[in-house]
């Protein structure tokens, strides 16, 4: 396990910076639009809705990961979507595409959209990770993010990050000032300040921001690098807005007792501490709701 330096800085494209100088409220308005369910439902894709077929995908994911959480090593994990099931099912891509283009430019946005629009990727084990119920919920709630570092033909290296809780709430009006100043205030720009959350592996060692983990597989599909990179970038933007509190049943059922094996002590939650817990976390927006 390696520790790696990290930065939570959001790389704005040249076009975004120029547009922002012309209209200081451009990015603020875009972020605000993501917290409103204004996207008309597009024609639905013939997405996998059969429960038996979805269960088969969940089992394929967990078999690939040796039936253990990829971060804690605890047995009997849940299969968690990297890109949310609810969006795939309803095909609500318009706001996401607009945000990606605004922050990262057309070419990066197009590369990521090709991943989530592909049935062979989004509707496969490549869009799934094996996580404990608690880590699964924190990932859905944007309290943790996963950064893909590198990949080979039979492995991918991932880095875990606890997200910093923002002082802004989804109902707040963004101040009339540069988005860079907002990010700086929130510790998301030049002086990154990562969140703090305590979670222990069966060995008693905590999971900490910057720790890296390698998933290997010779026969099964590895988690998709582009979907992970997309998730990583959107969750950093989402850190400004809060995170999801609504879930849609797209993933497996989550039962609190499922994490007892990874936390010291006999009762679930003993030895597990969350700092600054806020039950009012809202979604990144209708376009990237962490409801898998």
Least confident of 25-29, 85-89, 106-110: 25-29
b or e along 208-243 (b: 16 or more beta carbons within 10 Å of the residue's beta carbon)?
bbbbebebebeebbbbbbbbbbbbbbbbbbbbbbbb
Least confident of 94-98, 106-110, 270-274: 270-274
Q: Which position has the higher pLDDT, 101 or 12? A: 101
- At residue 29's C-alpha, the angle toward residues 85 and 118, to 5°, is 25
Select from 144, 137, 143 the least CA-distant residue to 247. 137
pLDDT of 36: 46
What does the pLDDT look like over 211-234, one tens digit per residue?
Answer: 999 999 887 789 999 999 999 988
Average pLDDT for 96-100: 82
Average pLDDT for 178-187: 56
Average pLDDT for 36-51: 44
- Residue 212's Cβ-side half-sphere holds a number of Cα atoms within 13 Å equal to 15
Distance, in Å, from the CA atom of 79 to the CA atom of 89, rounded to the nearest integer, reads: 17
Write out 168-217 in H/E/C secondary structure.
CCCCCCCCCCCHHHHHHHCCCCCCCCCCCEECECCCCCECCCCEEEEEEC
Flag whether 290 is in a domain.
Answer: no
Q: What pTM was estimated for this model as a whole?
A: 0.63
Flag whether 211 is in a domain.
Answer: yes
Residue 286 has pLDDT above 70, yes or no: no
Q: What is the CA radius of gyration of the chain?
A: 18
What does the pLDDT look like over 134-151, one tens digit per residue?
Answer: 999 989 888 889 999 999
Flag whether 255 is in a domain.
Answer: no
Flag whether 128 is in a domain.
Answer: yes
Residue 163 has pLDDT above 70, yes or no: yes
Confidence of residue 73 (pLDDT cuts 50, 70, 90): very high
Flag whether 165 is in a domain.
Answer: yes
If one counts the domains in the chain, the total is 1
CB 130 within 8 Å of CB 62? yes
Distance, in Å, from the CA atom of 251 to the CA atom of 58, rounded to the nearest integer, reads: 9
Flag whether 274 is in a domain.
Answer: no
Domain with 231 in it: 42-169+182-241
What does the pLDDT look like over 5-28, one tens digit per residue?
Answer: 444 455 555 665 566 566 656 556
Percent of the chain with pLDDT over 70: 49
Flag whether 125 is in a domain.
Answer: yes
Confidence of residue 83 (pLDDT cuts 50, 70, 90): confident
DSSP characters for 52-100? HHHHHHHHHHHHHTTTB-TTT--BS-EEEESS-HHHHHHT--HHHHHHH
Flag whether 61 is in a domain.
Answer: yes
């Amino acid at each position: 396990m390696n520790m790696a330096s990290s930065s939570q800085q959001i790389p704005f494209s040249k076009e975004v910076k120029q547009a922002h100088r012309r209209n200081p409220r451009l990015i603020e308005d875009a972020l605000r639009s993501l917290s409103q369910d204004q996207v008309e439902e597009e024609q639905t894709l013939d997405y996998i809705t059969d429960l038996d077929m979805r269960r088969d995908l969940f089992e394929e994911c967990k078999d690939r990961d040796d039936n253990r959480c990829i971060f804690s090593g605890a047995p009997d994990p849940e299969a968690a979507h990297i890109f949310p099931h609810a969006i795939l099912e309803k095909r609500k891509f318009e706001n996401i595409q607009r945000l990606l283009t605004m922050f990262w430019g057309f070419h990066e946005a197009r590369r990521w959209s090709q991943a989530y629009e592909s049935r062979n990727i989004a509707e496969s084990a490549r869009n799934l990770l094996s996580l404990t119920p608690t880590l699964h919920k924190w990932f859905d709630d944007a309290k943790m993010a996963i950064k893909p570092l590198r990949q080979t033909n039979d492995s991918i290296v991932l880095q875990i990050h606890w997200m910093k809780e923002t002082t802004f709430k989804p109902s707040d009006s963004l101040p009339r000032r540069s988005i860079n100043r907002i990010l700086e205030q929130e510790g998301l720009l030049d002086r990154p300040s990562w969140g703090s959350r305590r979670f222990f592996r069966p060995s008693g060692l905590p999971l900490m921001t910057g720790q890296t983990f390698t998933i290997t597989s010779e026969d099964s599909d590895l988690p998709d690098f582009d979907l992970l990179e997309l998730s990583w970038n959107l969750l950093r933007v989402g850190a400004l807005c809060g995170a999801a509190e609504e879930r849609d049943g797209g993933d497996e059922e989550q039962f609190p007792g499922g994490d007892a094996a990874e936390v010291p002590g006999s009762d679930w939650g003993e030895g597990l501490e969350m700092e600054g817990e806020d039950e009012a976390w809202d979604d990144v927006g209708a376009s990237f709701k962490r409801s898998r």
